[in-house]
Chains A and B, each alone.
Chain A
Amino acid sequence: MGRTLAEKVWDAHVVRRGDGDEPDLLYIDLHLVHEVTSPQAFDGLRAAGRPVRRPDLTIATEDHNVPTVGVDLPIADPVSRTQVETLRRNCAEFGVRLHPMGDAEQGIVHVVGPQLGLTQPGMTVVCGDSHTSTHGAFGALAFGIGTSEVEHVLATQTLPLRPFRTMAITVDGRLRPGVTAKDVILAVIARIGTGGGQGYVLEYRGSAIESLSVEARMTICNMSIEAGARAGMIAPDETTFEYLRGRPHAPTGAEWDAAVEYWRTLRTDPDAVFDREIRLDAEELTPFVTWGTNPGQGLPLAERVPDPTRIADEVERVAAEKALAYMGLNPGTPLREIGVDTVFLGSCTNGRIEDLRAAADVLRGRRVAEGVRMLVVPGSMRVRAQAEHEGLHEVFLAAGAEWRSAGCSMCLGMNPDQLRPGERSASTSNRNFEGRQGKGGRTHLVSPLVAAATAVRGTLSSPEDLD
């Protein structure tokens, strides 16, 4: 019987098959490290007297804690500063390459890896961050791990893992103008729920997926974890190869040819069987926004805030009631009438150059509404430099938005970029959990196009709502 893409990549990395109940031991090709989930792992190595087995397959960046203004100054928050300094000390001691604040390659770990060409088809990629699923856009098997597993990979370059089940998510047809990768993945999560992907690797396929750029594919794979799946994958194709060609760490010459020949085999076989299959019609999708406090609580922008009393399932009804109370929303309110205080454009979901271009196209010649604050936070310093080369920063500044340096920023509010209690945001990030963007903050997840249009009108909007 044929194998799926995920099974092919898995099989190619098995160091040792587990006996009976034992997990397989998988080799890890690339380990990405950041300041928040690594200090205790390095401590563990020191305590046991163990080295990092493959510092040459490990790379670190500072992203979660870093301020996005005044990046040439010391970090004001002493606890954040300690964490960043701890990463610097650990990387120096164990010989790990680090891109610190102020470096031209610094940025969000999931933006940095792909743009350096370190993420390639068929690889296994891990990081102590759940959005490692992003790298699956290249046909890599990429997933988030906890700190104990970070220590395990640092020490052994392997992980003991039990095989995942596989789920095909097929999106056929053509996406309508104004409908983006973000709308596709929000619709997928609303369909299968925040637990629907648990235990699975999701493989996104179909003509609508094939027509997407690599950056848009990253947006989709990034949020696989929001459906409960540790990993999402898309088979590599010419679009992938063209993205990689010429990047700093991509192979060259005969090695490139050998790599491409292998990468072309990384497709699910026609006779392979998925454990579960889901289908979406691209033509039916419209801009999607969340109304609740988990990423599965989303609806098309044209809809209204749902009425919990009409939800049959008790667990979901209680969850919806709690969500509406937290979000300060009334059932029946048109989503388009929900006003926001803040718009956040950025994150590992939507902080790449294409996202900035899309938002800038909407904002060009327009102004951010009175009383609305818009933060534009590029995913990496390289994205920031590219945007400035294209003059996008001038569009954002002319519209009244703030132009920041790279980092995770308001996606999770570990740095000073936070919502105040009761404030409401339209955010291109990935989680609308209670307090995610600041204690008491209320988050609506949106695409970059919806974020920009919302900034202009002050209520949740798509570009077609603009004059």
Chain B
Amino acid sequence: MEPFTTHTGVGVPLRRSNVDTDQIIPAVYLKRVSRTGFADGLFAAWRADADFVLNAEPYRSGSVLVAGPDFGTGSSREHAVWALADYGFRVVVSSRFADIFRGNAGKQGLLAAQCEQSDVERLWRALEAEPGVEVTVDLREKTVRAKDFAVPFAIDDYTRWRLLEGLDDIALTLRHSAEVDAFERARPSWLPTTQSVAG
């Protein structure tokens, strides 16, 4: 995973709440067996509408998405994160993220930055007043800066550390293999296995 420290790019105002993962990428796009190539499915239904924000220049080349509350609800599909990243987004700003989406984003180096709703609205106004304005997201300072103002965002310290360092979760866990071995030896014997049983 690429380390993330700061990112500067065009901010995209998405004035929608409850942007569920079926909107981010509809199920018919989930059939690929790779992690790449999902950008064409991003917001597929909405992009068919000429008025959708990503169909307008200069938002089309945006990399910081600023959305309404409850972003990423619904399905656990990590394809939603892959689609956003594949399209070119590095940051999503929202006042509330669904838990699974937030976790998935953190695994893929997509920053889920949680701001107060009033700050989201301030960002929306700035991005709409001057389309194409660049936004700088600083993970060390935990701020989103647009024009002449900056707003703070929240992220848990562990995810922040992993993003800053670009660390892989599995490698971190494998450092504790001896503890996993010990735990396994103490598991109760009645617990099921998936091995086929007679009958």
**Which one, A37, A146, A255, contacts B107 given CB within 8 A?**
A146
Asked whether, in the complex, the Cβ of A83 is within 8 Å of the Cβ of B169, the reply is no
Instruction: Give the chain A neighbours of B26 by CB distance below 8 A.
Output: 435, 439
Interface readout for A344-355 with B: 1 if CB under 8 Å, 0 if not?
000000000000
Chain A residue nearest to B48 (CB atoms) is A439
- From residue B159, how far is it (CB to closest CB) to chain A in Å? 9
- Nearest chain A CB to B135's CB is how many angstroms away? 22
Within the complex, what minimum Cβ distance (angstroms) separates B19 from chain A? 10
**A256 CB contacts on chain B under 8 angstroms:** 190
Q: Given the complex, which residues of A lie within 8 Å of B194, measured CB to CB?
A: 30, 55-59, 97, 118, 249
One of A153-161, A202-210, A278-286, A373-381 at the interface = A153-161
A79 within 8 A of B: yes
Chain B residue nearest to A436 (CB atoms) is B22
Q: Which of A15, A123, A294 meets B183, CB within 8 Å? A: A15
Q: Is the CB of A151 within 8 A of B170?
A: yes
Given contacts A48-B170, A195-B69, whether A148 and B196 have CB atoms under 8 Å apart is no
Within 8 A of A (CB), among B145-199: 156-158, 161, 169-170, 172-174, 176-177, 179-180, 183-184, 187-197, 199
In chain B between 63 and 84, which residues have their CB closer than 8 angstroms to a CB of chain A? Answer: 68-70, 73-79, 81
Query: Considering the chains assembled together, what is the distance between the CA atoms of A147 and B34 in angstroms?
Result: 11
Decide: B173 and A152 in contact? CB cutoff 8 A.
yes
Number of A residues with CB within 8 Å of any CB on chain B: 86
Whether B197 pairs with A248 at a CB distance below 8 angstroms is yes
Q: Once the chains are docked, how many angstroms separate the CA of A259 from the CA of B190?
A: 6
Complex contact B17–A318 (CB within 8 A): yes
Stretch at the interface among A18-26, A267-275, A393-401: A18-26
Report the bound CA distance from A96 to B31 in whole Å: 21
In the complex the two chains form, is B179's CB within 8 Å of A16's CB? Answer: yes
Q: Mark A279-321, 1 if CB is under 8 A from B, else 0.
A: 0000000000000011000000000000000000001101100
Interface centre among B20, B97, B104, by most chain A C-beta atoms within 10 angstroms, is: B20
What chain B residues lie within 8 Å of A225 (beta carbons)?
Answer: 74, 100
Judged by a CB distance under 8 angstroms, whether A213 is at the interface is no
Which single residue of chain B is at the shortest CB-CB distance from A147?
Answer: B78
CB contacts (< 8 Å) of A118 on chain B: these are 192, 194
Instruction: Tell me if A294 and B20 are in contact (CB < 8 A).
Output: yes
Whether B16 lies near A322 (C-beta < 8 A) is yes
B73 touches A294 (CB 8 A): yes
- Contact residues of A between 1 and 53, Cβ < 8 Å to B: 15-16, 18, 21-23, 25, 27, 29-30, 36-37, 39-40, 43, 48, 50
**Shortest Cβ distance from A2 into chain B, in angstroms?**
23
> How many residues belonging to B are interface residues under a CB distance threshold of 8 Å?
65
Closest 10 CB pairs of A and B: A146-B104, A148-B107, A39-B33, A146-B78, A144-B76, A21-B157, A251-B190, A255-B190, A147-B78, A59-B194
CB nearest neighbor in B for A431: B74
Q: Footprint of B on A, CB under 8 Å?
A: 15-16, 18, 21-23, 25, 27, 29-30, 36-37, 39-40, 43, 48, 50, 55-59, 64-65, 77, 79-80, 82-83, 86, 97, 117-118, 120, 123, 128-130, 144-149, 151-152, 155-158, 160, 162, 194-195, 198-199, 225-226, 228, 230, 248-251, 255-256, 258-259, 262, 293-294, 315-316, 318-319, 322, 412-414, 431, 433-436, 439-440
- Residue in A30, A117, A158, A255 whose CB lies within 8 Å of B173: A158
**Once the chains bind, are B78 and A249 in contact (CB under 8 Å)?**
no
- Structural contact, A319 and B18, CB atoms closer than 8 A: yes
**Interface residue B136 (Cβ < 8 Å from any Cβ of A):** no
Chain A residues lying within 8 Å of B172, measured Cβ to Cβ, are: 160
**Which residue of A is nearest B34, CB measured?**
A40
Query: Nearest Cβ distance between residue A21 and chain B, in whole angstroms?
Result: 4
Known contacts A195-B96, A439-B45, A294 near B33 by CB under 8 Å? no
Residue of B nearest to A151 (CB): B170
Residue from A55, A65, A147, A151 having most chain B Cβ neighbours under 10 A: A147
Task: Write the chain B residue with the least CB distance to A29.
Answer: B191
CA distance A433 to B25 in the complex (A): 12
Measured CA separation A361–B112 after assembly (Å): 48
Minimal beta-carbon separation of A136 from chain B (angstroms): 15
A433 touches B196 (CB 8 A): no
By the criterion CB–CB under 8 Å, are B18 and A21 in contact?
Answer: no
What is the 8 Å Cβ interface bit string for chain B, positions 5-40, against chain A (1 contact, 0 not)?
A: 000000000011110101100111011111100000
A-B contact pairs, 28 of them (CB 8 A): A15-B179, A25-B179, A29-B191, A30-B192, A39-B33, A56-B195, A83-B31, A83-B33, A120-B192, A128-B76, A129-B75, A130-B76, A145-B76, A146-B76, A146-B103, A148-B107, A157-B184, A158-B180, A160-B173, A251-B190, A255-B189, A258-B188, A259-B188, A294-B18, A294-B20, A414-B31, A434-B23, A435-B22
Q: How far is the CA of A156 from the CA of B181 in the complex (A)?
A: 10
Contact of A433 among B23, B81, B183, B190 (CB under 8 A): B23
